Amino acid sequence: MDAARATSFGAWAEEYDGWRPTYPDAAVDWLVPPHAVHVAEVGAGTGKLTDRLTERDLELDVVEPDGRMLGILSRRHPGLRIHETVATSLPLGDASVDAVLVADAWHWFPKLDAAAEVARVLTPTGWLGCVWNVPVLRHDWEWRALRLDPALQPPDDLDPLDRIGLSAGRAEQRAFRWTWTLTPRQWRGFVSTVSHVRLLPEDECQAALDETEQLVERACAAAGTTTAPLTHDALCVRWYPPT
C-alpha cells in the first residue's frame, strides 16, 4: 500500500473522527469471540470500533501507530490501555488475547509479518477479526459522489484468505448490511475522509467535494427528502492461524 495514503489520516484526525461511520452490532458480535475476556484492537484510529468494544465486558488493549489518532481516542476513553506502536510489534505476551480485531485497517499492514505477530499473541482458540465498511452503491450518482469506478469493485465471492492477503490458516467471512442516512453536507464530510479524495491537490479536492454535495442535493430533491441513504456492508473476516 502507498505509504503516503497509509499515514495520511492522522493529519486530519478530528475530521476522520467526526465523519467516519461506526459498525453495526451484528458485525461486532460476530467478530468478538463469545468466550472472549481479553481482546486487542490494532490500527484503532480514533476509536470507531473501540467505542463499540467498550460497550462489552472485555479487557481491552488498543494499538495505533499515530499519536494524533490516539489523542482523540484517549480523550474519549481515558481509562483504556493504549499503545502507540505498529501491528508488527504488539506489546502483548504470547498467547495472551482471545482476539485481535482490526477495523478498516488490515489492508495497510505488511500482512505476513502482521499475521505472524497476531498468531503469536492469540490464545489457541482465538482469532483475528477484520471488518471493512464497504459502500453498496446502486446508482450512478453514488459512484460519482464517492469518486469510485464501478469496474474496480471487488467480487462478492472473493475467498476470505485472499481478501486478507494470506495463504495459510483458515478463514471465514460474513457481510452485515446496514444503512447510514446523511444530509448532503454529511456526505461531503464522509467523502473528505476518503484518502483517494483527500490526497488530491487542494483545488481538485475541494472541486470533488463540491460535486459530491451537489450530487446528493439533487438526489434529495428528486426524492423529496433532506437526506440520502448510504448503504454499507460491514464485511467481516475471521482468520484462524495454522496450528
**pLDDT higher than 50, residue 29:** yes
**pLDDT higher than 70, residue 9:** no
Could you tell me if 122 and 95 are in contact, meaning their C-beta atoms sit under 8 angstroms apart?
Answer: yes
Give the mean model confidence (pLDDT) for residues 107-135. 96
Percent of the chain with pLDDT over 90: 84
Residue 13's CATH number: 3.40.50.150
Residue 52's pLDDT is 96
Alpha helices in 56-124 (DSSP H): 67-76, 111-121
Query: Where does the pLDDT of residue 3 fall: very low under 50, low under 70, confident under 90, or very high at 90 and above?
Result: very low
The structural domain count of the chain equals 1
Residue 126: all three cell numbers together: 482465538
Which of 58-77 are b and which e, b meaning 16 or more Cβ less than 10 Å from the residue's Cβ?
A: bebbbbbbbeebbbbbbeeb
User: Which residues on adjacent β-strands are paired with residue 83?
Assistant: 63
Residue 231 in 3-state DSSP? strand
CA 10 to chain centre: 14
- Sequence-distant (≥ 6) Cβ neighbours of residue 47 within 8 angstroms: 17, 62, 72, 73, 76, 77
Could you tell me if 123 and 40 are in contact, meaning their C-beta atoms sit under 8 angstroms apart?
Answer: no
> What separation in angstroms does the CA of 210 have from each of 135, 160, 199, 214, 233?
20, 36, 16, 6, 26
Identity (one letter) of the amino acid at 193?
Answer: T
Give the mean model confidence (pLDDT) for residues 62-68. 95
Query: Where does the pLDDT of residue 152 fall: very low under 50, low under 70, confident under 90, or very high at 90 and above?
Result: low
Which range of residues forms the domain containing residue 123?
A: 3-240
Residue 50: all three cell numbers together: 473501540
169: left (phi over 0), alpha (psi -120 to 50) or beta: left
| 168-202: pLDDT as tens digits | 999 999 999 999 999 999 999 999 998 889 889 99
**pLDDT higher than 60, residue 5:** no
**pLDDT higher than 80, residue 217:** yes
**pLDDT higher than 80, residue 216:** yes
Give the mean model confidence (pLDDT) for residues 64-91. 95
Residue holding cell 448510504?
Answer: 230
Residue 4's pLDDT is 47
Distance between CA atoms of residues 183 and 65, nearest Å = 32
Query: Where does the pLDDT of residue 2 fall: very low under 50, low under 70, confident under 90, or very high at 90 and above?
Result: very low
Q: How far apart are the first and last CA of the chain?
A: 29
Q: What is the mean pLDDT of the chain?
A: 92
Residue 108's pLDDT is 93
**pLDDT higher than 60, residue 7:** no
> What's the order of all strands across the beta sheet hosting 59-63?
81-83, 59-63, 38-42, 97-103, 122-135, 228-240, 170-182
